[in-house]
């Protein structure tokens, strides 16, 4: 009996929706706009978070870097205060690599230039190629992969061989006839190098392309790209992800000894995990999330007022119908439930439309920045619950008003 009554209430609600179609559509659109704003912006935020996490953890979740300065991130007019310590010397970096016995890979490197021009015969790149002096472990710890050729050998690094590994974008700029670049001699800055390897394409991220890079042996780089006060960086990759924290602890202790940091003082170097930048950027996005939630809730408040108004008008217009139903034996509870169900049906229709539109709008941004398609299940469930709550709150007063109407007065209405 209860199920039959519930189904009948839904049928009456849908009939009422069809009868007052324009008014109902406008109410549904108001609710949909609120949910769309909420789900859309939060879906876009989740897409950005996913994108940042994917792009700033390319080195791997078990990798960290020791350098002489903290990260500096600019967002709008704001930036975190950067600390710069004394340069990490070549000797200190090598001492660490030799003495660090934790099950891991260690790589010493430094940035030689971000404005190098690379030439091959009559072809040359723009002066925007990144040149790094690296050792034989850098490829392993950086998350790069060799597509063609091979990595550096220990002898090439030690003797400063004139060999190089280049990125895929450099290959496209220099070898336009699909020639095999392995074994070819190119000019990088003042020196000539034999190509021994080509990096697998990674694509661009945040305006930076890792494919526009050239790696040369560390000791060769020190000869041709030397400058005063070079600070070297050290990449460390733990053999297992669960050993990362232990590796950081041991590496920090060892490097404090090498740097002769007194006990009780802070480190004179920075240890940066591969996902630190992503976490810093995501931390700033929380304000966008709060603003989006506030906008969505304000819009939903307007939708609740609109829905309550339409339900009150509906009660007034259907006073005679309510009187007939009461005369035929309908109780206050049945009348109240009828109008509550009608309010909930309108709310859920608006919510469903808003959720679909919100997911589509959020994923348009995801598509533009190259992130994955996001289905925000948490926000979908939240949207459904919010719509149910809005409909319940908006419908309770009109439903109660309808339930309390006097049947005699209702039949005499109009």
Q: 414 pLDDT exceeds 50?
A: yes
Task: Tell me what the mean pLDDT of segment 80-105 comes to.
Answer: 88
Please name which of 109, 211, 204 lies closest in space to residue 167, comparing C-alpha atoms: 211
Classified as helix, coil or strand, 1 is coil
Q: What is the mean pLDDT of the chain?
A: 81
Least confident range of 3-17, 96-110, 264-278, 298-312: 3-17
> Strands 118-120, 123-124: parallel, antiparallel or unpaired by DSSP?
antiparallel
Q: 159 pLDDT exceeds 80?
A: yes
Question: What percent of the chain clears pLDDT 70, i.e. is strictly above it?
Answer: 85
User: What is the rounded CA–CA span in Å between residue 355 and residue 388?
Assistant: 13
Segment holding 331, helix H or strand E: none
User: What is the rounded CA–CA span in Å between residue 116 and residue 133?
Assistant: 13
Q: 74 pLDDT exceeds 60?
A: no
Residue whose entry in the numeric block shows the structure tokens 């949910």: 35
Highest mean pLDDT among 225-234, 271-280, 298-307: 225-234
- The burial of 165, by beta-carbon neighbours within 10 Å (0-12 exposed, 13-18 middle, 19 or more buried), is given as buried
Q: How confident is the model at residue 207 (pLDDT cuts 50, 70, 90)?
A: very low
Least confident range of 130-134, 160-164, 397-401: 397-401
Classified as helix, coil or strand, 144 is coil
Highest mean pLDDT among 176-180, 221-225, 313-317: 221-225
Least confident range of 41-45, 288-292, 395-399: 288-292
CA 155-194-133 angle, 5° bins = 60
Question: What percent of the chain clears pLDDT 90, i.e. is strictly above it?
Answer: 27
Please name which of 383, 360, 355 lies closest in space to residue 373, comparing C-alpha atoms: 360
Q: Which two tokens stand for residue 120?
A: 């091959």
Q: 291 pLDDT exceeds 90?
A: no
- Cβ atoms of residues 62 and 244 within 8 Å: yes
Least confident range of 223-227, 257-261, 319-323, 355-359: 319-323
Q: What is the pLDDT of residue 341?
A: 80
Q: What is the pLDDT of residue 218?
A: 94
User: What is the rounded CA–CA span in Å between residue 351 and residue 328?
Assistant: 35
Please name which of 58, 357, 362 lies closest in space to residue 237, comparing C-alpha atoms: 58
CA 336-342-347 angle, 5° bins = 125
Classified as helix, coil or strand, 220 is helix
Q: Which two tokens stand for residue 35?
A: 């949910």
Q: What is the pLDDT of residue 72?
A: 60
Q: Which two tokens stand for residue 90?
A: 């070549």
Q: 391 pLDDT exceeds 90?
A: no
Q: 271 pLDDT exceeds 70?
A: yes
User: What is the rounded CA–CA span in Å between residue 280 and residue 278?
Assistant: 5
Q: How confident is the model at residue 94 (pLDDT cuts 50, 70, 90)?
A: very high
Least confident range of 180-184, 206-210, 347-351, 392-396: 206-210
CA 313-335-340 angle, 5° bins = 65
- Which letter does DSSP use for residue 395 in this model? H
**Category of 163 on φ-ψ map: left (φ > 0), alpha (ψ -120 to 50) or beta:** beta
Least confident range of 143-157, 273-287, 307-321, 371-385: 273-287
- What dihedral do alpha carbons 136, 137, 139, 140 form, nearest 10°? 150
Q: How confident is the model at residue 405 (pLDDT cuts 50, 70, 90)?
A: confident
Strand partners, 235: 65, 107
């Amino acid at each position: 009996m209860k199920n039959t009554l519930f189904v009948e209430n839904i049928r009456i609600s849908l009939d009422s929706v069809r009868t007052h179609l324009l008014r109902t559509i406008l109410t549904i659109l108001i609710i949909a706009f609120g949910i769309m704003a909420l789900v859309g912006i939060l879906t876009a935020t989740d897409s950005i978070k996913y994108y940042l996490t994917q792009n700033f953890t390319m080195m791997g979740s078990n990798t960290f870097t020791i350098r002489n300065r903290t990260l500096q991130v600019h967002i709008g007019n704001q930036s975190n205060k950067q600390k710069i310590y004394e340069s990490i010397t070549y000797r200190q970096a090598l001492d660490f690599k030799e003495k660090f016995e934790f099950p891991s890979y260690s790589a010493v490197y430094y940035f030689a230039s971000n404005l190098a021009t690379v030439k091959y015969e009559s072809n040359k790149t723009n002066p925007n190629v990144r040149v790094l002096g690296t050792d034989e472990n850098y490829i392993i710890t950086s998350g790069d992969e060799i597509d063609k050729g091979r990595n550096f050998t220990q002898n090439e690094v030690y003797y400063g061989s004139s060999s190089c590994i280049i990125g895929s974008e450099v290959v496209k700029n220099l070898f336009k006839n699909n020639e095999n670049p392995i074994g070819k001699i190119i000019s990088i800055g003042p020196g000539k190098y034999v190509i021994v390897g080509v990096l697998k394409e990674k694509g661009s991220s945040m305006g930076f392309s890792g494919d526009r890079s050239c790696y040369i042996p560390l000791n060769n780089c020190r000869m041709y790209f030397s400058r005063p006060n070079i600070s070297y960086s050290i990449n460390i990759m733990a053999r297992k992800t669960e050993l990362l924290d232990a590796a950081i602890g041991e590496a920090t202790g060892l490097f404090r000894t090498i740097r002769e940091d007194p006990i009780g003082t802070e480190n004179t170097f920075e240890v940066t995990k591969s996902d630190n930048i992503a976490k810093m950027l995501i931390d700033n996005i929380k304000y966008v999330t709060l603003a989006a939630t506030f906008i969505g809730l304000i819009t939903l408040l307007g939708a609740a007022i609109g829905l309550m108004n339409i339900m009150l008008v509906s009660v007034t217009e259907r006073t005679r119908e309510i009187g007939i139903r009461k005369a035929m034996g309908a109780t206050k509870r049945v009348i109240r439930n009828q109008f509550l169900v009608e309010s909930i049906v309108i709310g859920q229709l608006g919510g469903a439309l808003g959720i679909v539109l919100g997911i589509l709008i959020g994923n348009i941004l995801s598509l533009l920045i190259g992130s994955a398609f996001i289905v925000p299940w948490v926000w979908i469930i939240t949207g459904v619950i919010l719509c149910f709550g809005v409909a319940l709150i908006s419908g309770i007063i009109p439903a109660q008003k309808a339930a309390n109407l006097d049947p005699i007065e209702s039949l005499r209405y109009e």
